[in-house]
Amino acid sequence: MSNKHLIGLKGESFTFHVTLEHIQAFARAIGDASPLYFDEEYAKTTAYGRITAPPTYPIAIGAAGGAIDLQLDQRRMLHGEQAFIYERPIVPGDVLTCDAVVSDVYEKQGKNGTMEFIVLDTHMYDAEGRLVVTSRTNIVYRAAQQHV
């Protein structure tokens, strides 16, 4: 079932403009009322020194573009894991250039046979070209059902 040929496959680069309003709408949508996302005066007293985006905010950025067409049966795909690897917080005013790539494909034995894992990394760079965050999605690709 190996799909190792997918490694290196890229999505189309896209740009995302981070706004205070979008950060706050995202925070409200996930039910996080932390003043770090809403109150500039409070945010100035934190280690960040200003309003920042919630840690899971890159989900909203990734939904804005750059999808990779894996050409696989989507009925066999499961979202397995999500991770965010930060170099610095995302803040209002950031203009992020985003590049998605299949960074790895590997297999593990499960109760019902071999499962394949496809790792998608979306790297998000600021206007100076510095990496801000990598959003890592791990997709579980289940084996096709064998009909006897």
**With the CA atoms of 31, 37, 43 and 46 taken in that order, what torsion angle do they form, in degrees rounded to the nearest 10?**
60
Structure tokens at 55: 């840690």
Q: Is 95 helix (H, G, I), strand (E, B) or coil?
A: strand
> Residue ranges of the domains in the chain?
4-18+55-142
Burial status of residue 110 (CB atoms within 10 A of its CB: 0-12, 13-18, 19 or more): exposed
Whether the per-residue pLDDT at 1 is higher than 70: the answer is no
The CATH class for the domain spanning 4-18+55-142 reads alpha beta
pLDDT of residue 146: 57
pLDDT of residue 147: 52
Burial status of residue 81 (CB atoms within 10 A of its CB: 0-12, 13-18, 19 or more): exposed
User: Measured in Å, how far apart are the chain's first and last C-alpha atoms?
Assistant: 19
Give the pLDDT confidence of 49-58 residue by residue, as tens digits.
999 999 999 9
Whether the per-residue pLDDT at 129 is higher than 60: the answer is yes
pLDDT of residue 87: 98
Structure tokens at 132: 């801000």
What per-residue string of b and e applies to 112-146 under the rule 16 or more CB within 10 Å gives b? eeebbbbbbbbbbbbeeeeebbbbbbbbbbbeeee
pLDDT of residue 67: 84
Give the pLDDT confidence of 29-49 residue by residue, as tens digits.
999 999 999 999 999 999 999
Q: Which residues is 108 bridged to in the sheet?
A: 115
Q: How confident is the model at residue 93 (pLDDT cuts 50, 70, 90)?
A: very high
